[in-house]
Amino acid sequence: MIPTEYRAMMYYLLTMGYSVGYVLMSPISYFFRDWRWFLRFSGLIGILYIPYIWLIDETPRWLMVSGKSKSAQKILNKIAKLNKDQPADVKDFDIDIPIGVWKTMLRIGRQPILMCRFVICCYTWLIISIAYNTAALNNNNLSGNRFLNLFYAGIVEIASAFVYYALVSKLGRCLPYILSSIGLSIFMVGATFGANYGSTFVVILTMAGKLMVATAWAIIYVHTLEMFPTKTRQSILFCVVLCAKFGGMISPFLIHAGETGNKNPFIVTAALVLTTSFLCVLLPETSDVQLPQTVTEAKSMNGFWKGIAHKIRGLKENRSNNHPSKEQYNEVVQQRI
């Protein structure tokens, strides 16, 4: 339901909400020193979301897929009234019903290009999750006041939302991710060997690394959902999030290994993060491109290097049929819609 040009902004706004919550964890944890009371307070906050049942409408597309066309039409009329526009008709929407995880795997498995993208995305989510959770859990091991360190980490999260939006708005998806992952690798290694230069230096490098990993996470989240067909998108998200959860399970072991003075896990993690930047060049650039509706449209999306070569040479047309330009691709998708 979100126009192509506003996809990056929408996720930026969602990220900002998470970042503000991260900042608020510092004063909350300061006043609730006992972990049991901290969890109780965090759980009770959920009561504030109960009114959302009546305040926030269901997604019109989900209602259409569920056979509730009348409810979907009421929401579309409400949207049109708020926007002072003509209401859309549910009959004008071409709804694709999502398929299950196993059917998604079978469909993706028959297409080598899409399967390669899927494996790269799963691997990237796993590694970035390890790096992100390691940075988050390592706050207590930093010198200084742990509540201030948590507050600094929250401020960095807010800064990462601005950095994410600024980069993807100007440079697309692939190049910002490559830059942020390379920066993350450098800062991780620097923080590992920076103890000789003082504790403050380590804190600065750690926060810089957190800025990079939060930015990389935001980019890959949006990028993943933009390169797969509509019917498979929901199941693809389930698979990559599952990989990220495994990454979160591995992170505490890295922290424990670091406490014993072993620096190898952090160096290996930095190296793995660096490999994701190399793999990213195999993924398509999806900035300003309409979401693919079919497998054929997803396969026709340009790779990162082809897009760079196109810009360097100044080619606007005369692409091969297998690799259309963004304008040609958007035109095909618009005709289908």
Encode pLDDT of 169-192 as tens digits.
888 888 999 999 999 999 888 887
Alpha carbon distance 112, 299 (integer Å): 9
Q: What pLDDT, on the 0 to 100 scale, is given for residue 99?
A: 65
pLDDT band at 95, cuts 50/70/90?
low
Task: Tell how far CA 325 is from the center of its chain.
Answer: 25
Encode pLDDT of 127-146 as tens digits.
999 988 888 877 777 777 88
Within 8 A by CB and 6+ apart from 105, the residues are 235
Encode pLDDT of 114-129 as tens digits.
888 899 999 999 999 9
CATH code: domain 103-282 is: 1.20.1250.20
Q: What does the block give as tokens for 37?
A: 């009371």
Encode pLDDT of 191-235 as tens digits.
878 767 777 888 888 888 889 999 999 899 888 888 888 778 888
Within 8 A by CB and 6+ apart from 187, the residues are 205, 206, 208, 209, 212
Q: What does the block give as tokens for 311?
A: 């810009």
Residue among 214, 240, 227, 206 at smallest CA distance from 289: 227
Alpha carbon distance 101, 49 (integer Å): 30
Query: For 61-69, which contacts have Cβ atoms below 8 Å and span 24 or more sequence positions?
Result: 61/1, 61/93, 61/95, 64/90, 64/93, 64/95, 65/95, 65/97, 65/98
Percentage of the chain exceeding pLDDT 70 = 81
Domain ranges of the chain: 57-92, 103-282
**The one-letter amino acid at 106:** L
Helix (H, G, I), strand (E, B) or coil at 284: strand
Encode pLDDT of 238-296 as tens digits.
899 999 999 989 888 877 776 666 677 788 888 999 999 999 888 888 887 777 877 78
Predicted TM-score (pTM) of the model is 0.78
